[in-house]
Amino acid sequence: MRITLVHGDITEQPVDAVVNAANSSLMGGGGVDGAIHRRGGPAILEECRTLRSSRYGEGLPVGQAVATTAGDLPARWVIHTVGPVHSRAEDRSHLLASCYREALRVADELGAATVALPAVSAGVYGWPSDDAARVAVTTVRAARTRVAEARFVLFTADVYAAFERALLAAGPSDEEIAARLAAQPGERWRELFALADALTPADLEVTWRGGQEAGPGVTQAPYPVYGDAVERILGLLGELGVVVVFGWPDWVRGNPLWPGGRGLEDAPVADAARLATAIVRGERFGDGTIGHALETGTLQAVLRRLRRWHDEERPR
Ligand code: APR
């Protein structure tokens, strides 16, 4: 899926589906909602009324999405979703993420290939632009969807700039990372997997040095020492382009291997690269990240996913 950014009016986008930042009543409002109903005409409101008199008698819940006709818009459908109102006291990011995930799920049900999306909740609902952009981009980037183009349409220059920053922080796409891995020489991959196969429990040992007096009142900070095999594996992960440049501190908050995460086995190989990056880069922010990854089996899970990609998915 391609993610594109447009600085403009979402009602002017010739796409299959336009996502509306609606409210639960589905009866229209201001902002995107007002523009879509104004430009799309009464047919949209008619179908919203039907939805309210049937499936959504209580209104469309926050984080959910439902489709109607696009009326006179240059699109086939409008996918209405209700963003959460921003709160300082409560983290509602999961509800904002749900808007995008559900909108793409509905788009898949419709067979929409191109979808225009606004910065949900970033207007009247007061969500700070940078965080609204981060949630939007990371959620859409991680979504398993058949949509070919997710086009964020940003009305104001400041929100457009926030999405540009978020896209940069999200780093290369799954496809770009996989292409970079595929371009690496086969013998380097074979060396990496041979090292991984030969790892013994002793190789996974971490010894801590330092911690001794280094002068009056000065103690050298303790630091981890990893075995040669692990050091060579880490070096190869760098040389093979597995360590990528992206905003890993944000990404790793949704670590696929954490409880409730979707795991790595069925994730794109790019997620194995992103996780390897968080492990390697994390070591610079706090000694022992690599040791912890060895202890929890996270680094081994990354190596397993890279090998499955190499053996089964890498273009021949
Ligand atoms: N095209 C693209 N983006 C737009 C457009 C447009 N025509 N009009 C406004 N926007 C932008 C806003 O600048 C903001 O960045 O969409 C983002 C979301 O703003 P809102 O439309 O206010 O949506 P939201 O913050 O989710 O609040 C939803 O506002 O309009 C009412 O009925 C709606 O009650 C609901 C609430």
If you measure from the C-alpha of residue 20 to the centroid of ligand 1, how many angstroms do you get, rounded to a whole number?
Answer: 8
Q: Which pLDDT score, from 0 to 100, does residue 154 have? A: 98
Residue 144 has pLDDT above 90, yes or no: no
216 SS3 class:
coil
Residue having the nearest C-alpha atom to atom 26 of ligand 1 = 121
Q: State the distance from the centre of ligand 1 to the C-alpha of 136, rounded, in angstroms.
A: 14
Q: How confident is the model at residue 295 (pLDDT cuts 50, 70, 90)?
A: very high
Tokens in use for 192? 């990496």
Q: What is the mean pLDDT of the chain?
A: 94
Q: Name the residue of 13, 23, 32, 87 whose CB sits within 8 Å of the most ligand 1 atoms, as the mutation to test its pocket.
A: 32
Q: Are 80 and 102 in contact (CB under 8 A)?
A: no
> How do residues 230-289 score in pLDDT, each as one tens digit?
999 999 999 999 999 888 887 787 778 877 777 898 888 999 999 999 999 999 888 899
Give the mean model confidence (pLDDT) for residues 290-299.
Answer: 94
Domains of the chain listed by start with CATH number: 2-170 (3.40.220.10), 175-313 (no CATH)
Can you read off the two tokens belonging to residue 116?
């225009």
Which pLDDT does position 219 carry in this prediction? 87
Active-site amino acid positions = 33
pLDDT reading at 125 higher than 90: yes
Centroid of ligand 1 to alpha carbon of 169 (angstroms):
24
Tell me the per-residue pLDDT of 169-225, one tens digit each, with 9 for 90 and over. 888 888 899 999 999 999 999 999 999 999 999 999 999 998 888 888 888 888 999
Pairing of strands 223-226, 206-209: antiparallel
d(CA 46, CA 68): 9
pLDDT band with cut points at 50, 70 and 90 for residue 15: very high
**What mean pLDDT is predicted for residues 128-132?**
97
What's the confidence (pLDDT) of residue 48?
98
Q: What is the pLDDT of residue 100?
A: 98
Measured between alpha carbons, how far apart are the two ends of the chain, in Å?
A: 22
Higher per-residue confidence, 172 vs 87: 87
Extract the tokens encoding 215. 């002068």
Rounded to 5°, angle at Cα 139 from 182 and 263: 60
Over residues 85-110, the mean pLDDT reads: 97
Do residues 106 and 65 touch, judged by C-beta distance below 8 A? Answer: yes
Alpha helices, DSSP H, located in 183-297: 186-198, 228-239, 248-251, 269-282, 289-296
